[in-house]
Structure formats: C-alpha cells, structure tokens
Structure 1
C-alpha cells in the first residue's frame, strides 16, 4: 500500500511505502537538520517519542529501586523483626517477662559474660596484633611484602572450626608433630587450649587479619605531606608514629576493634570446639544447645537469647559509630605510596621474627592437621607403619555426605556470590544517585544488609527459622529444611560484604558519564549494562570472591539450617569432630584448606590479567 505525502518536493520520490513511514518519522525526530519537508507534520509525534523513553527509563529506575528495597526487607529486615517480635512480645502485646527471666537465669548470665569477656579480650589482642603487622609491612622496607600479606590473610579465609581442630591437634597430648619433637604434653593431661585463655588466643589469631586489612588500607590512603614534614623537622620514626600515624589511624583502629569484637561474639566453631570442653559456654553455644533440646517452647526460648546477643552486637556497632565521629580527622591531599622506613641493621631480625610468626600460625597447625589425617587412629605417631590414605579415601569416595557437602557448598556459595554481585551493581548505583529520594531508599536497603551482617550468624539462623518454618503464602511451599533457605541466608548475611567495594567504586565515578548517556537516549538498563557494569565489574568481582570464600567454608549461619541431604562443608566437618571421628574431620579439613589455598593462588595468578581491584587482597 502506498501513501502520498504532499509536503515532499516533487523532485523527490513522492511515494513512500506505508511500513517505512514510522521509521522515517523516527529518523526525522533524531535528525533535526533533515532536509525533508515534512518535519512540521510530525513535530508533535516527535515530542511524544522523546518523552516515552524518558518516562520508561524513570519507571524502570523506580521499579528496580522498589524491588531492591522490598527484597532487602524480606531477606534482611523481616526475619530480624520476627525474631524481636517472638522474643519481646506475648499474646497481649509487648512482654518483657521472658527477657527478664532469661537475664536472671544463671546459665544465660554466665554465657553472656563469657561472650562479652572473650570477645573484648580477643578483639583487643587482635587489634594490637593486626595493627603491628600492618605498620611493619606498610611502613618499613622489609622484603617479600606481597607473599607476607598473602600468608597473613590466609587464616581469615580458613573456617574457624577448621582452625580450632588444627590447633587442638597441634598442641594436644596426641599431637603427631609435638610427639615427634618430644614436646607433647603427657598423655591424660588437660589440653592447654581448653581454657578461657586458649579460646581468646584462637579468636585473636582468627580475627587479627581483619584488623590488618583495615589498618593497611588506611595507611595506603594517607597523604605523605604530614609524614614528610615530620621527617624534615627531625622527627624520628617512633615519635612520628606516636604523634602522627596512630592518631590518624584512630578511626580505623576503632573500626577494626568493633569488627573483631562482633566477629568473636558470633563465632560458633571456635566457641563450641574449645569452649564446651573448657566448660566456658558462650551465648552462641547456649543457643545451639537449647535448640538441640527440641522442647515445646524451644523457639521462643532461643529467640529471647538471640535477642540478647543481637542487642549486644548492635550496641557495639552504635558505640563504634559515635566514637568514630569524635575521632575523625579530615585529611587534605591525594593518597600516595606509604613510607618505607629503613630498618637498617634491624631488618634481618624483623624479617626473621615475621617469618617465625607466620610459620607458627600456619605451619604448626597445618602440619598437625595433615599428620592426623594420615594415621589410622588419632594419637598414633606418624611413621612408615602408621601412614595411610584411608581417611582421604573414606571422606572423598565412600562417604556420600562429604561429596554432597562439597557439591552443596560450591553451589550455594557460588550462586550467592553471583546474586550478591548483581544486586550490588544496582543498589550501589542508587546509593550514589543524584536524587536524594533515591539515595534515601537505597540507604534503607543498605542499613538492613549491614544489620544482618553485624548480627551474629547464629542469630540470623534463628531469625530465618522463624521466618520460613511455615509454608510461603500463596505458594504453599516450605523453605525450611531445604538448600534454598541456606542460599537466602547467605545472600542476606553476606550482602554487605559484596556491596561495600561496589558502592565505593560508584562514588568515584564522574556524573557526566550518565549525563552523556541520557543525552544519547540510553535508557536505565542500557546505561547499566553498557557503562556502569563494565566500570564497576572489578569491584563486583572482588566482592563476589570474598563472598564465595566466606560462604564456602562457613558454619555459623548453616549450623541450625542444614538438614539431611542439605549438608555443607562446615557442618559436616563440625559433625565429624563432634562425633569423635577426629581423623575423618582432619582429612576433610585438609581438603578444605588445600581448596582454599588453590583458589587464592589461582586468583593471584590472574591478578595481572584482570583490572586492578578485582583480587581483594592484591593492591
């Protein structure tokens, strides 16, 4: 069918196929300088076409933001609200009776004191140790810094319960290494780690890499002007450290202490494997024991204890925020390479001390773990007669539960890391949005994710049981007892971990990028896929790697959510050790440590082929 346009010059073709007419109108809208004479005929239509993409883009933005906020509320905020509702309300509304009864209980008060005491002491020691290591590596001229950083951060990637098992076997009377060296305690003697001090020691070694990472990042963000001015004025290294570096580091030190305190407060693996034999029960272990009793009022009972644990953690975070605002110091200047203070003749001694520390923290427990996995029965000395690979054969080929656990953990951790990376890209965009309303709503989702991360993992487990023990409305499907509830719990708890580096990347982007894309007519999803995602991909990958390594080996969140057929690596190792199968627990722990090291080494090998910032522990 042909139509005739009277406004087109007779020197031009005066017939246009009907199907081409909409395309010509669109092209005319995009080309304001077109020589075609029918621009006036379609001017109103052009204005409508320009408005439609803008309206659709705004609608897409608002819909995406609403979905993000609702999703964060459903998986982060709602479970915690149900937990507090169960613990603090009764049939008639607010009821603090069960909470007061729990506080007056001797077992709860004892567990609360043990939790606060061990967390405070270990956080204090971890802050001191992590800061010392960061200052030595960050401000001096010691050699092999990259390898030292990798080895210092390695314990943070190893599951706490594996750390506990390794040290129990390393320092106990049956330690193959100490018996080979003739230094093992006498058989039948009390294990040296089964005490408050042993618990604090392992918590310190587990969480000092967190402080090291924070302090080292703060040192690398300092401008050099203050340090250079102090050195020109004749200030020595110790005076400069005391008068300049440490005061400027105060907010980071406080953040490191709070992070180590909250991590120790919610730690389950070390608290259970060390605290139970030492009769030093903490709140996470008390919750686990109460839930295992399966009484008629078990959920309200553990909900009350979980509320106490959550309140202590949130109080610590709020106190940290208040103190940080008072200690904050504004710095002017661009971040530069940190100082390399010459140690002179002391450098060999400092380097030898660092390498001895690394060997003590890594080699001794790892060697003991490996030796235990290679003997038939725990306590036998490692020799040619007792050497066997039977334990590895058992856990890798004969025990179906271990194969399921590896498959489940790999699947759930991988999917959680991928989902968190995608969510972080969109949520970080709105956190850096130019409109205050968008930033406010995005901050609501961010706050809920940070609270879910700050609250101990065992508390989140109880919250998810309360939220998903009943079938979902409309769907009539129960997630409790399935792998899905563990996956959702991982996304909820570790969302803040994957979001932080992506949010920092978006804050550094120039707003003119989006302005240019809008002028070119790019809609919201086109801007996200073609501009922001490529720029923020390294940060998203860095967060995803941290999420995967953390979720792959964790036991705190899944300790109460796993079921037969849905075991994870962490719960399987813990059950082996708790059931007395020490050699099998050691064999599976060796496999987990080897897999973690292999993943980190693979990431290191890819560091030169990926954008800077993709590997979280690489500069």
Structure 2
C-alpha cells in the first residue's frame, strides 16, 4: 500500500501539477497576501485601524469617489457605445464587417496613455490638425479634456471595444429560431430588439459593464495624464503620488489604499457574478448565424455614420499624434519649413533611455509571452482533466492568476514591491529595481490572457485521444510532447502574441516597478509627456501604435489554425 501511494505521488503528472500550483501561488497569491498582511496587521495581529483611518481621510475619500464616479459613468457610456456598434455590425447587412471589427477593437490594443496623449494633442490649443482647420481653441485657454467629462469620454472610448467584443460574441451564440419566430409573428426590427434580443443580452451587458468598470477603476495612464491637470485625482494616481513621497511609512500607507482599490474591484466582480446568475436565461437550440437585418435604402447612411465615427476616434488622434511627432517644437503648424524627422531620429538612435526602453520591453514582454505559452499548455491540460480533484487543484492555482489579472495593475505593483523589496531568502538576491521583478509581475498579471485560448483548444479535443495514448503506453511527458503540444501550439502562439501585445505597451504594472536601467516603453512615454517633451512622446507613441497594428495584422495569419474566437477580431 505504501509503495502504491509513493508511486502515485511520484508520478510526473502529479509532480508537474504541484509545481505549477506552487509557482502560481508564489507569484500571484503570496504577494497579494503579503499586501493584505502589511495593510491590515500591526505587530502580527489583525488591525483594521489603518483601513478605517484611510477611509476617514479626505484625500482618500475624494480619490475613491472620483474613481467610482468616473468608472461608473464611463462604463455606462461604454455599454451604450459598444452595444450599439455590436448590434449594427452584428445584426445588419453593413459591408466590410471584418475590417470594421478590426478597427473597432484597435483602441483596446493601444495603450491608454498613448490614447490620452493623442487626444490631448488632437483637441488642445496647439493641435496641428485643428490649427490647420482654423478651429483650435485659443492659446492659453483650458484644455477641453482636462475635466471629469474629458476623462469619462476617453475612458468610454478606451473600454467600448470590451463591451463590443462581449455583446458580439453573445449575439453569435443566440439561437436563430428566436429571431425567426419573432419576424414570422410580425415583429418589426425595433420590437425584436427591445423584446427579445436585448433582454437575452442582459447578462452579457452586465458583464460588459463590470469589465469596463474594473478596467476604468484600475486605469493609470489616462487618469494621470488627464486627471492630474484637471485636479481630479483617482485612487491609482493617489497611490502613485504617495509612493513617490518616500516617507517612512509610505509602504504601509499605499498598501492600505491598494487594499481599498482591490476590495472595490473584487466586490464589483462578485456582484456581477451574482447578478448574472439571476439574469441567466436557458435557451434551447444550437447557435447559428445571427439574424441579418436588411437596411435597404438606409444602408449607405448607416455605413457613412459608422465609418465617420471610426474615423473620428482613430483618424483625428492619429493624425494629430503624427503631426506633433513631425514638427520641431510642440505648437508649431505642420508646414514644409517645420517638417522634420528629428524626433524619430532622436528616440530611435540617439536617446539611450528610449533605446533601452525598447530593448527592455521587447525582452521582458517576449520572455513573459514565451513563459506563459509554455505554462499554459500543462495548466490547460489539468484544467480540462476528467479527474475532478485535478481540476479543482489546478483551478485553485489558476484562480489566483485570474484574481491577479482582475485587480488593478498598480495594486499588483504594490504587492510585488512588498514581496520583493528584500533579498530573496537563501539566494540573497534582490529583484527590486531590476527587470526581473517586472517580468515576474507580467507573468502574474497576464497569465490569464495567454491561458484562455489554450484552454479553449483543449475543450474542443476529443477525450479519445488521451485514452488511445494511454492504452498505447505513452506517459504524461510523451503525451504532452507528441500529441497535445502540437495540437494546441497555434492557440498557445495566439495567446503569446496577445500577452506580448499587452505587456509590450503597458504602463500600469511597471509604473511603480521601474528604475534607472529598467525603463519600459510605457513608462518612458509617460515620463516624456509628464516632463514636457511632447514631441518625443508623440514620436515614440507613433512607433508603438505602428508596432501594435503590425502585430495585430500578423495575428490574422494564425486565424485559420486556432479555435474560433481565439483572435478577438476574427470569427
């Protein structure tokens, strides 16, 4: 009996599962647990005094209210815009749907701080496009975006693609018989939408609101670049400012504020899950192609409005960003005399900090993408196992990764600072202030992004594959190497590209973890804009946007080799 137990324990699949769960706990669970310990304990015992004291602080309460207000308003706006776009593109006979979906989702892939910089330059008194059109605000006037409304508007545009993605997927999963029966019964388009389609979409709309709310709640780039000049401080900006003060109790202080932000996020997600379960409707029938509503004579008008909206949210800021990057000094009109490529030359060849930032981001994002792709294959295998105990144990580890992805990036940054500010035990090596801590944070925060496509691929496999391999005598390592890894490799590659794209451009996670020598692209662009080097920030942003579009376009090459829905903008 003892020999049998020892053999079972030493099985390589069990050892692999234990290693994966321990690793996930080390990089996802323990830093969060340590943050709660620092914020909620005093001399080793539970003490909620600092939390109550923080909630009584006027600055914290004001920042909390600003976070809740801007997140709620922008989430409502994102639900309206994203749902409207999903209904028009998903249910009508507008043309070029593939291109439209790609363009609608593009703002979601562009870093929020780059979007904020683009719109600041597009609508400000020094806007090269508005000055060329003769409609720019007067020099010296307050920027129209430096307000609560401006921040809400940009957050709405940033998060609308999230809602669009969810609602579009839900539309494609609704049985066609429902809409067909309504049309046969004489229901018009408006009645069909209000009585059948939208009520059935209610859980997806709620999920879209929750995702947009959480994304806005943890947004740092936009809230800093817009909120600081507008004196509209949110919790992420308050955390960033408090940590920059370098006081003696700065870490416990920001840990408490981070706990407040994390609790609000988790409460929103729990409330969403509870409401979704109550609003869920059981549908009978197989998913089919959604109803195609013929616009007839209105189609040219609807298409013109749709393309005009996309041009407004993409072309105007992009043109302003490019124009700002091509002038010698911010505020000059773009003319033959002021046109220059000096800013691009400066950031790509002369500035050591930008060269280092490009190198660091490429290295760290690439390493995170490869490691997550490698971890996702065995993790997804265990998550979809027939053994309930294996599924639950692996789910415990993956659940920690999903929480790390859900909570704001600045919260995870504080958790990693607390976890790794001291040298590692036994090794006596300090990760703080190096690229290694940023890499570890990326692994924790973005593992859920790379895992989902691989899990979807495993769920579509026939269980007979593994049964046949076991009968043939193939062990766990051989099954993973010969059978499963080749089958899910395209999905793992797709997830790795999504991870790379997310990590390459981010600023929220690395905003508090970088130091001299470990700058990332996001932090460098933010520091350029914050320091007044607007033309350099614009030039670097143009390069980042071009790289983002190129990577998204390259992902289309994988579309035929991965499960449906793996690439967001492909059917």
Q: Normalised by the size of structure 2, how large is the TM-score?
A: 0.97
Q: CA RMSD in A?
A: 1.6
Gaps (5+ residues) in structure 2? Answer: none
Q: Which of 313, 334, 339 pairs up with 1:361?
A: 313
Q: Which residue of 2 aligns with 1:197?
A: 149
The structure-2 alpha-carbon separation of the partners of 1:607 and 1:508, relative to structure 1 and needing over 3 Å to count, comes to closer
Shift of 1:507: 2.4
- The reply on whether 1:338 has 2:310 as its aligned counterpart is no
Q: Which of 281, 297, 300 pairs up with 2:252?
A: 300
Q: Which residue of 2 aligns with 1:311?
A: 263
- The reply on whether 1:186 has 2:138 as its aligned counterpart is yes
Between the aligned partners of 1:363 and 1:439, the Cα distance in structure 2 is: 47
* Contact kept in structure 1, 2:401 and 2:447, CA below 8 Å: yes
- The reply on whether 1:510 has 2:495 as its aligned counterpart is no
Q: Which residue of 1 aligns with 2:486?
A: 534
Runs of 4+ deviating beyond 6 Å: none
Shift of 1:530: 2.0
Q: Which residue of 1 aligns with 2:49?
A: 97
Shift of 1:55: 5.2
Residues 12-38 of structure 1: CA deviation (Å, up to 9, x unaligned): xxxxxxxxxxxxxxxxxxxxxxxxxxx
Q: Residues 247-326 of structure 1 correspond to what in structure 2 (within 5 A)?
A: 247-326=199-278
Shift of 1:299: 0.4
Q: Which residue of 2 aligns with 1:370?
A: 322
- The reply on whether 1:106 has 2:58 as its aligned counterpart is yes
* Contact kept in structure 2, 1:482 and 1:563, CA below 8 Å: yes
Residues 542-572 of structure 1: CA deviation (Å, up to 9, x unaligned): 2222111111100000000011111100000
Shift of 1:612: 5.6
Shift of 1:537: 2.4
* Contact kept in structure 2, 1:541 and 1:614, CA below 8 Å: no
Shift of 1:616: 3.8
- The reply on whether 1:70 has 2:22 as its aligned counterpart is yes
* Contact kept in structure 2, 1:542 and 1:613, CA below 8 Å: no
- The reply on whether 1:352 has 2:307 as its aligned counterpart is no
Between the aligned partners of 1:613 and 1:205, the Cα distance in structure 2 is: 23
Between the aligned partners of 1:516 and 1:57, the Cα distance in structure 2 is: 24
Q: Which residue of 2 aligns with 1:483?
A: 435
The 3-state SS of whatever aligns with 2:201 is helix
* Contact kept in structure 2, 1:266 and 1:455, CA below 8 Å: yes
Residues 513-565 of structure 1: CA deviation (Å, up to 9, x unaligned): 21111111111111122222233223222222211111110000000001111
Between the aligned partners of 1:227 and 1:165, the Cα distance in structure 2 is: 44
Q: Which residue of 2 aligns with 1:427?
A: 379
- The reply on whether 1:59 has 2:4 as its aligned counterpart is no
**Which segment is superposed worse, 285-294 or 248-257?**
248-257
Shift of 1:509: 2.2
Shift of 1:238: 1.5
- The reply on whether 1:82 has 2:28 as its aligned counterpart is no
The structure-2 alpha-carbon separation of the partners of 1:530 and 1:605, relative to structure 1 and needing over 3 Å to count, comes to closer
* Contact kept in structure 2, 1:374 and 1:388, CA below 8 Å: yes
* Contact kept in structure 2, 1:543 and 1:616, CA below 8 Å: no
Matched residue count:
568
Q: Which residue of 2 aligns with 1:575?
A: 527
- The reply on whether 1:404 has 2:356 as its aligned counterpart is yes
Between the aligned partners of 2:350 and 2:564, the Cα distance in structure 1 is: 43
